[in-house]
Amino acid sequence: MASSNSLEFLPDPGVDVRQLFILLHGVGGSPDNLEPLALAVRKAFPAAAVLVPEGFEPFDGGGAGRQWFSVRGVTEENRPERVAQALPPLEAYVRQAQARFGLLQSDTALAGFSQGAIMALELVQAHDGMAGRVIAFSGRYAQLPRSAPQYTTLHLLHGADDPIMSVADIQAAQARLTELHGDSTIDVATHVGHELHPALIERAIMRLQTCVPLRSWEAALGLNQTPPDGSTVH
């Protein structure tokens, strides 16, 4: 399903693949837009496979870019349905990548920028635990969640001056996740707009390297959780 314009960064020869990162670009963008993030992930996690697929649709706003779903005429009311229709191909892509490398859902991280962040957040909302982590840059939910993923840790990163995706929306989403006993972090960079800023990339890597998932603390405290069907949680 990924095209020849997709990017992938694999571990050095002789190094077993132990983690999978799938990075999703923004509307009208391309995999090349996420190369700085891909390189940072590869440096921090040398045993990871880093895949950067193209959006599965050509951008309908002109140019050579791609999209995950159309934003032409998008409203708060119709956005959830558009996202829902776009999720099955992404779900299939993630499952194929996990099978390719023989990795578990808990070994998988999804990272997205802007529209790609919407897709990552909504994929684990629809399929709890499909990835152990989601890193959402300059994104939002299609609609505020009614429940929180119990097997996915969410890292939300945003520019305080974002004119496209309001920081207030992601702050409201994080507050809702907290109310729902979700496992999430939020980092807001001052004087940063709608961009994959180096400060946000650096913060994301730090979160990935240092944040212990809430479910791991609960397991250590003897608060047993049952993983969703077809996955292993650790």
> Is 181 an annotated catalytic residue?
no
Q: How far is it, in rounded angstroms, from Cα 22 to Cα 103?
A: 13
> Is 194 an annotated catalytic residue?
yes
The CA-atom distances, in angstroms, between 63 and each of 35, 58, 73 are: 20, 9, 18
DSSP one-letter string for 131-192: SSEEEEES---SS--SS--SS-EEEEEEETT-SSS-HHHHHHHHHHHHHTT--EEEEEETT-
DSSP-based three-state secondary structure for 20? strand
From the list 161, 187, 194, 216, the catalytic residue is 194
From the list 30, 106, 114, 184, the catalytic residue is 114
| Structure-token pair, residue 111 | 């990272």
Residues comprising the chain, all counted: 234
Q: How far is it, in rounded angstroms, from Cα 98 to Cα 140?
A: 25
Q: Are 32 and 65 in contact (CB under 8 A)?
A: no
From the list 127, 138, 158, 162, the catalytic residue is 162
DSSP-based three-state secondary structure for 77? coil
> Is 155 an annotated catalytic residue?
no
Active-site annotation, residues: 114, 162, 194
